[in-house]
Amino acid sequence: MRRVKVAFICVHNSCRSQMAEALGKLLANDVFDSYSAGTKLKDRINPDAISVMKKLYGLDMEKLQYPKLISSLPPVDVVITMGCGVNCPLLACQHREDWGLEDPTSMGEAAFIETAEKIEARIIDLRRRISSGELTLS
């Protein structure tokens, strides 16, 4: 099976998409390559997202990742928008879906934990759908 490339897209690439990239690398690296990017950039990853990912998964996104624009992505097979109304018409792909996740910024640690757990479940499901062939990619 060839490596599938999955891009997680959000406006600023500072929170949900970064969390999804990190969890994709942790939980589904045997099935797909994970990337994240945004249509605009913040100067850094959200500190609350960094803290929660360290606490829950032992991942240091601050050392392993950085905010990126969509133009920096390689060609991808799957585009996942995180729920922020991002439209990526120039980002070609074989499959696109929106995860409809609310931005936890300024909502406290519990909201970040809930968001991380939702992303974790969706990463696991995406891994299952890709590896089983349920998600048809050429």
Nearest to 4 by CA among 26, 35, 27: 35
Flag whether the pTM goes above 0.85.
Answer: yes
Q: Is residue 138 domain-resident?
A: no
| Active-site hit among 4, 9, 10, 20 | 10
| Active-site hit among 7, 84, 91, 119 | 84
Is 15 a known active-site residue?
Answer: no
Q: Is residue 114 domain-resident?
A: yes
> What pLDDT, in 10s, does the model give residues 92-123?
899 999 999 999 998 999 999 999 999 999 99
Local confidence band at 64 (pLDDT 50, 70, 90 cut-offs): confident
Is 84 a known active-site residue?
Answer: yes
pLDDT at 133 over 80: yes
CA distances from 55 to 22, 37, 109 (A): 13, 23, 11
Identify the domain containing residue 51 by its residue range.
4-132
Is 10 a known active-site residue?
Answer: yes
> What pLDDT, in 10s, does the model give residues 2-56?
789 999 999 889 999 999 999 999 999 999 999 999 988 888 999 999 999 999 9
Q: Is residue 137 domain-resident?
A: no
Q: Assign residue 50 the CATH number of its domain.
A: 3.40.50.2300
Q: Structurally, how many domains does the chain consist of? A: 1
How far is the C-alpha of 1 from the C-alpha of 96, rounded, in Å?
20
| Active-site hit among 88, 111, 113, 137 | 88
